[in-house]
Amino acid sequence: MLYRAWLAVLGVILCAGSAWSEDPFLRDPDQRLWKPVADDVYLQELGSQIQTDRPILSVAHYDGTLYALTDQGGYRLDGQHLERVPELSAGLQRLRVLDDALWAMGSVGLYRMVGDRVQQISDLAFVDVCLLNGVVHAATTMDVYRYEQGRLDNLEPETGYRSTNITFHREDGTQVLPQPERMGPLIRIAAYSGFIEAPTSDDPDVLGIEDAPLQNLGAAPYSGPPRPK
């Protein structure tokens, strides 16, 4: 009897399984709250992996080509292989694409690539670059530079950055700091420019401040027994 009971249960499971297998969505069409969409070729995600014998430090996509950095220098992706870019030397740690150019930076300097031409802009150790009002700015750990007309100009004034520390003012209005302020240590820089505009609203609670009468929110005057003299 037990054997027949197991056969009956197994038969029910097989019947249910065959019924479910006929409907891959496990629901009748009139019970679905959605409808399937054909997965065309352009919707398919294609993934691949490029094997490297050294860790990748940074990647950037420039002019239709993927570039990568390792501790041995720069590479460009050619099909499924990384091809060495000899102009990008070892010691570079970061890649950025700004102002239609590829920028590479690290302990060996700052490099700029336009097309296939690579130019070393500086041999100082740079950590980051950003674009402010259409002009590229680059940073070392202690200074920020503006890149214009093929050269870097340090933004720090000749007499140092103004501060509220001890200073001496000369008769001509210039300021001298015994210990000038310095930036840094810098790790990354970013740019922001613009104005905060008024909200597009006619709600007086948003545009103004409620005109409330002044209230005495302090403690009430003392009204206990007379204080000892």
pLDDT tens column, 2-29: 444 444 444 444 444 444 446 565 677 7
Structure confidence by residue, pLDDT tens digits, 69-122 = 999 999 999 988 999 999 999 999 999 999 999 999 999 999 999 998 999 999
- Segment 26-41 mean pLDDT: 74
The Cα–Cα gap between 63 and 104 comes to: 15
The Cα–Cα gap between 182 and 123 comes to: 21
What is the token pair recorded at 212?
Answer: 């409330």
pLDDT at 205 over 60: yes
pLDDT > 90 fraction of the chain, expressed in percent and rounded:
43
Residue ranges and CATH numbers for the domains of the chain are 52-176 (2.130.10.10)
Type of residue numbered 78: D
